[in-house]
Amino acid sequence: MQVTVLSGKGGTGKTTIAVGIAETIKNSIKIDCDVDAANMYLYYKGKQTEKESFYSGKTARINSDKCIRCGKCFRNCKFDAIKDYKVDSLKCEGCGICKLVCPVGAIEMFDNHVADIIEEKIKNGNLIRADMEIGADGSGRLITKLRSKVKNNNEIIIVDGSPGIGCPVISSVTDTDFCLIVTEPTLSGLNDLERLLELINSFKIKSLVCINKYDINCNMTEKVKDYCKERNIEIIGLIPYDDMVIKSINDLKPIISYQTSRAGREIKKIAEKIFKIYKEEYL
Amino acid sequence: MLSGKGGTGKTLVSTNLALCMEANYVDADVEEPNGFIFLKPKIENIDNVEVDIPSIDTNRCQKCYKCVSFCDFNALAIAKDDILVFDKLCHSCGGCKIVCDYGAISYKKKKIGIIEKGTCRNIKCLRGVLNIGEAISSSLVKKLLSNLSSEINIIDSAPGTSCNVVNTLSYAGCAILVTEPTEFGLHDLKRAITLVENLKIPFGVVINRVIKHDNIIKKYCENKNIKILGEINYDKKIAELYSNGNLLIDNDSYKKVFIDLSKNIKEHLLCR
């Protein structure tokens, strides 16, 4: 079973909820697909079992000894990546057109190191994550690679996704069983939820929605509920605002380990519902 | 305005600050642009943003597949004998046309999003909106940011520290990093700091949702000699105003935060 936790808008509580759900069961594989702001591993003291360098895409380099400064490279570059016969590695998208048009073979393409992929054994399963190079491109391919690390699909796999609706999100939802969308009762949250749902629907993947901090604006919560109801999307949880959540993040302990946490109790219920839905609909 | 971690308050700070400084507001978080929810500008102009996607003339194509082997983005693939174009993977580099010996490739335009321009009170507002389902937004962000006016522009960036943010920063003169005093906030702030330092962009930090004056972000910044430009206290009333799409500077009790922040920005970032 694979459930991907997404949100559209950032900072709605994806990681808190993904870890909370994962902690209700004895064994699961957790994949942190929010590769450029990966926080899931902070909760776990694991033992690294595998580390692999991941390369994706290329960057051009001009050999100044061979270059005759004819200008063909920068005239053909669509990304303004060449100035004074030097390649700006942050702008270069690695298409290779400069190498193609160079008449003297002065340009070579080099593979980009995007991330180290790390697998860790943790107390209740495994964690797969990436230590991504800051400013790197290619998060979509990296996420596809992270998800391909799971060999046995019979396990319970919890994917912590990234915000937005672009390439990392598209790569995180492909072939997932369903998505759990974490939203918040704000106009921004609702706007982003609408855009995300449209994306997920285009992949014909089932979505479940939970509203985090639902009680900070009950009117807006009703609007989110109405929106989901119109589209036949189930709301599987309303998580109350709870100061204990910030404490749990700063203690780096899963929220469900706090017995008195109201948010933690609701997340446990959400986890139970998810596993029930999975058994009913997918097994 | 960037953050590393999502949801720390980039849009909250950007929109209120733009009005307070009478600067232009530019929403470059094209996947999920939310600034206009708060500024509600009167839209004066909408431009389509298009990219070039290859189209293959099957009468001319001799099936040498040079184009397929050239494309490093897997946007061209062989299916049976035909060549398929996966437009969402295409970076519009123009290489396939150059390698084709038979003149079988031309480009057609594909719309990937829009740029909206408008006015709110006395400031200009600009935003890019990516079409849902599009994976590559870099050309939209570049188009949005390449013709900015010479006035002060406050650019509301996407979260994270990857290509979209780098793209945005290549147009920035200085950076404001918005964070929150949690372990997650600090972890992701460190990545954002490394990014702006690598790019040699002057920057300062805004701490949002401050509960204790003496917090982990403050300690970190003081240790590293990083300028704290402003602090916004945690306040349920702010959360409520934000949730309904209201601006904070319309409320006298919060206006001062942004006036002080404007001053600090002018003094520490814009004077350089």
- Residue A74's CATH number: 3.30.70.20
Is the domain of A36 the same as that of A130?
yes
A117 within a domain of the structure (yes/no) = no
- The answer, for A93 touching chain B at a CB cutoff of 8 Å, is yes
Is the domain of A81 the same as that of A37?
no
pLDDT higher than threshold 80 for residue B54? yes
The predicted structure's pLDDT at residue B233: 96
What residues are paired with A24 via a beta bridge?
A: none
Q: Predicted confidence band at B109 (pLDDT cuts at 50, 70, 90)? A: very high
CB-closest option in B166, B183, B187 to A90: B166
Phi, psi of B17 (to 5 degrees): -70, -40
Test A36 with B32 for CB contact under 8 angstroms. no
Give the burial class of B117: count Cβ atoms within 10 A of its Cβ; 0-12 exposed, 13-18 middle, 19 or more buried: middle
A49 within a domain of the structure (yes/no) = no
pLDDT tens profile A43-67: 999 999 999 999 999 999 999 999 9
The predicted structure's pLDDT at residue B147: 86
Q: Predicted confidence band at B272 (pLDDT cuts at 50, 70, 90)? A: low
- Residue A26's CATH number: 3.40.50.300
CA distance A270 to chain B (A): 23
Is the domain of A232 the same as that of A261?
yes
Q: Write out chain B residues lying below 8 Å of A165, CB-based.
A: 31-32, 130, 132
pLDDT tens profile B183-204: 999 999 999 999 999 999 999 9
Q: Which residues contact B219 (CB under 8 A, 6 or more apart)?
A: none
Give the burial class of A253: count Cβ atoms within 10 A of its Cβ; 0-12 exposed, 13-18 middle, 19 or more buried: middle
Is the domain of A232 the same as that of A167?
yes
If one compares A21 and A175, the residue with the highest pLDDT of the two is A21
Is the domain of A134 the same as that of A241?
yes
CB < 8 Å from B in window 136-195 of A: 136-140, 162-167, 170, 184-189, 191-192, 195
Give the domain-ending residue among A64, A82, A112: A112
Output the CA–CA distances (angstroms, integers) from residue B2 to A149, A276, B26, in the order listed.
31, 40, 13
The predicted structure's pLDDT at residue B80: 86
State mean pLDDT over A169-180.
93
pLDDT higher than threshold 90 for residue A153? no
Whole-angstrom Cα distance, residue A133 to residue A281? Answer: 39
Output the CA–CA distances (angstroms, integers) from residue A200 to A5, A207, B98, in the order listed.
12, 7, 36
Q: Write out chain B residues lying below 8 Å of A35, CB-based.
A: 162
Q: Predicted confidence band at B160 (pLDDT cuts at 50, 70, 90)? A: very high
Q: Write out chain A residues lying below 8 Å of B72, CB-based.
A: 57-58, 94-96
Q: Predicted confidence band at B252 (pLDDT cuts at 50, 70, 90)? A: very high
Is the domain of A141 the same as that of A11?
yes
**Would you tell me the crossing angle of helices A187-202 and B236-243 to the nearest 10 degrees?**
50
pLDDT higher than threshold 70 for residue A147? yes
State mean pLDDT over B118-129.
97
Domains of chain B: 10-49+113-270 (3.40.50.300), 51-111 (3.30.70.20)
Is the domain of A134 the same as that of A106?
no
pLDDT tens profile A28-48: 999 999 998 999 999 999 999
CA distance B236 to chain A (A): 8
Q: Write out chain A residues lying below 8 Å of B112, CB-based.
A: none
pLDDT higher than threshold 90 for residue B94? yes
Output the CA–CA distances (angstroms, integers) from residue A64 to A41, A75, B203, in the order listed.
43, 17, 34
Is the domain of A130 the same as that of A104?
no
Q: Which of A129, A167, A219, A248 to mutate to test the interface with B (most CBs of B within 10 A)?
A: A167
Residue A59 domain boundaries: 55-112
- The answer, for A110 touching chain B at a CB cutoff of 8 Å, is no
State mean pLDDT over B79-89.
92
State mean pLDDT over A14-23.
97
Nearest residue to A140 via CA among A208, A212, A203, A57: A57
pLDDT tens profile A129-139: 999 999 888 78
Q: Write out chain B residues lying below 8 Å of A17, CB-based.
A: none
ipTM of this complex: 0.94
Domain count, chain A: 2
A50 within a domain of the structure (yes/no) = no
Is the domain of A10 the same as that of A128?
yes
Q: Which of B88, B184, B207 to mutate to test the interface with A (most CBs of A within 10 A)?
A: B184
The predicted structure's pLDDT at residue B30: 97
pLDDT tens profile A226-256: 999 999 999 999 999 999 999 999 999 999 9
Q: Predicted confidence band at A159 (pLDDT cuts at 50, 70, 90)? A: very high
* Percentage of residues of chain A with pLDDT beyond 70: 100
Give the domain-ending residue among A112, A133, A159: A112
Taking residue A108's Cβ as centre, other Cβ atoms within 10 Å add up to 15
A265 within a domain of the structure (yes/no) = yes
CA dihedral B206→B211→B215→B221, nearest 10 degrees, is 10
Is the domain of A93 the same as that of A215?
no
pLDDT tens profile A64-75: 999 999 999 999
pLDDT higher than threshold 90 for residue A152? no
CA distance A264 to chain B (A): 18
The predicted structure's pLDDT at residue B92: 97
Taking residue A75's Cβ as centre, other Cβ atoms within 10 Å add up to 10
Q: Which residues contact A238 (CB under 8 A, 6 or more apart)?
A: A210, A211, A214, A221, A266
CB-closest option in A36, A39, A165 to B161: A36
The predicted structure's pLDDT at residue A283: 78
Q: Which residue of A has its CA nearest to B10?
A: A10
Test A192 with B34 for CB contact under 8 angstroms. yes
Q: Predicted confidence band at B214 (pLDDT cuts at 50, 70, 90)? A: very high
b/e code B68-85 from CB counts within 10 Å (16+ = b):
bebbbbebbeeeeeebeb
Is the domain of A250 the same as that of A278?
yes
A156 within a domain of the structure (yes/no) = yes
A139 within a domain of the structure (yes/no) = yes
A21 within a domain of the structure (yes/no) = yes
Average pLDDT, chain B: 96
A157 within a domain of the structure (yes/no) = yes
Average pLDDT, chain A: 95
The predicted structure's pLDDT at residue A151: 83
Is the domain of A35 the same as that of A80?
no
